[in-house]
Structure 1
Amino acid sequence: MKKIVLATIFVVVSSGAMAKDLTEIKFGVDPTYAPFESKAPDGTLIGFDIDLGNAICAQLKAKCVWVETSFDSIIPALRAKKFEGIMSALSINEKRKEQIDFSDRLYNSPTKLIVKKGSNLDATVESLKGKRVGVAQGTTQEAYMKSMWAPKGVSIKSYQTQDLVYQDLISGRLDATLTDAAVADIGFIQTSRGADYTFSKTEVKDEKILGEGIAIGLRKGDEELKTALNQALKALHENGTYKQLADKHFTFDIYN
């Protein structure tokens, strides 16, 4: 009897079958970060994360349900079981690892400072001391600035969304903003309202705070869902779906 049971377990595990019935997966998302997640004029959720999440669900033969949540409260909402995963350009870093788990890496995106053209401001304490720098609440960029820049004289102002940061940047109430470069490039700098702005020359790097890539945030201990999502993601890489979706949204390699 024991041999039969063990053989059955081996078949289930080796075939990649999941004990959990994944008929529906709820993802938390803050749709204010184009090109990763935003809203079309008709209110439809669009973006790379949305397309990739829907493809992962399709691979698992599950229904994707998107739950809109502000970014600064998205981890508490996950832990409160309002959804199963966070798919909203969430960086992997040590502080977040203390609270939640992560899937395999989805993609990478650098952190850069946006400044007005001709300002000569750069992403250094020496350049920004006494300047007003805006940032979205709950982001790794906010954590970095509060830890590394604020104690050295840089004035930090946090906003509920990045769009509110841009409004104050354009109005002159801010001198710069630190944010995700891919989001900012397509969602601001390449648009008419961002025509007078550019990236400073220095890219901000700090793996401990800013993270080691973007992944799906998961509740600790949810190993079956984590395994299922990782298997689906691997399959999308192998069958070419991931590249097809990435090429739709980006002109550069978002994964490496």
Structure 2
Amino acid sequence: MPSIKTMILAATALAAMSGLAQAQQSDADKTWTEVRIGTEGAYPPFNFLDASGKLSGFDVDIAQALCDQMKVTCTFVAQDWDGIIPALQNERFDAIIASMSITPEREKQVLFTNKYYNTAGAMAVPKDSPLTDVSDASLKGKTIGAQGSTTHAQAAETFYPDADVKIYPTAEEYKLDVANGRLDAVMDDIVVLSQWLESPDGACCKLLGTMKPDEAIYGKGAGIALRQGNEKLKTMFNEAIVAIRANGVYKTVQDKYFKFDVYGK
């Protein structure tokens, strides 16, 4: 006969599975008039808090454009990156639009739409760095910073096994450390690094190079993450992405932040 503790654990697991199944069922049947969007708010220029404390950036403006196209009301929720997928699964919001790369590992946890942009990973170093390329041999014994739970952190650990990889909760923290001489290099999206390097805060550093486009790590671009089983909302978002690409709204939003097409091939 199983112990009381075993029976309690089994009942808890069953309740969790039942709750997830009910959420998936309600998502599938729901008529969407309002969509709650989760984003980080600490990853400029894609998502950040402006001077008034309002969520802003490319992710936020694209989300609003998609909601307008779908004729639904958008509300935005700021969420720390490390807890963003659990918060989606616990129904704090309905979709993540936060520059989340579509990777095989994440596809086990969430349902992704098609990409809404796709840019390369890159590395930046201090301006006086002796490093001349992004090879594993060059970075041997060096200290590399990256934001935790990102494809860039995974790439750092995969591409540079002989380097010391330091993980940070936010991009702002690794930027401070490399500016203050505590890191030899940092890795992130090329757009994030390029815009930082053009700002006064990024005057310390320069772009060293881009990463090889390894789809097993970097995925298929940034997509919108939904709860598993929410095929209805996925279809709505996918159709809206196609529509705003065709009607020029995507380009209008893109041109506000970038000088090139971030959608990619």
Common fold by TM > 0.5? yes
Alignment-derived partner of residue 13 in structure 2: none
Counterpart of 2:124 (choices 114, 119, 128) is: 114
Does 2:81 match 1:71? yes
Q: 1:202 to 1:52 in 2, by over 3 A?
A: closer
Alignment-derived partner of residue 213 in structure 1: 221
Alignment-derived partner of residue 252 in structure 2: 244
Alignment-derived partner of residue 102 in structure 2: 92
Moved more, 231-240 or 128-137: 231-240
SS at match of 1:81: coil
Alignment-derived partner of residue 171 in structure 1: 180
In the alignment, residue 247 of structure 1 is paired with which amino acid?
A: D
TM-score computed with the length of structure 2 as normaliser: 0.85
Alignment-derived partner of residue 18 in structure 2: none
In 2, Cα distance between the equivalents of 1:99 and 1:58? 27
SS at match of 1:106: strand
In 2, Cα distance between the equivalents of 1:31 and 1:116? 26
Alignment-derived partner of residue 13 in structure 1: none
Report the count of equivalent residues: 236
Does 2:202 match 1:194? yes
**Alpha-carbon offset, residue 203 of structure 1:** 2.9
CA contact (8 A) 1:95 1:209 kept: no
**Alpha-carbon offset, residue 205 of structure 1:** 2.4
Q: 1:201 to 1:148 in 2, by over 3 A?
A: closer
In 2, Cα distance between the equivalents of 1:99 and 1:114? 31
TM-score computed with the length of structure 1 as normaliser: 0.88
Map residues 1-256 of structure 1 onto 2, 5 A cutoff. Answer: 20-121=30-131, 122-149=133-160, 152-186=161-195, 188-256=196-264
CA contact (8 A) 1:72 1:139 kept: no
In 1, Cα distance between the equivalents of 2:140 and 2:253? 41
In 1, Cα distance between the equivalents of 2:210 and 2:167? 22
In the alignment, residue 120 of structure 1 is paired with which amino acid?
A: P
> Which 5+ residue runs of structure 2 have no aligned equivalent?
1-27
In 2, Cα distance between the equivalents of 1:227 and 1:109? 23
**Alpha-carbon offset, residue 159 of structure 1:** 0.7
In the alignment, residue 107 of structure 1 is paired with which amino acid?
A: Y
In 2, Cα distance between the equivalents of 1:103 and 1:163? 28
Identity %: 37
**Alpha-carbon offset, residue 75 of structure 1:** 1.4
> Which 5+ residue runs of structure 1 have no aligned equivalent?
1-17
**Alpha-carbon offset, residue 138 of structure 1:** 0.9
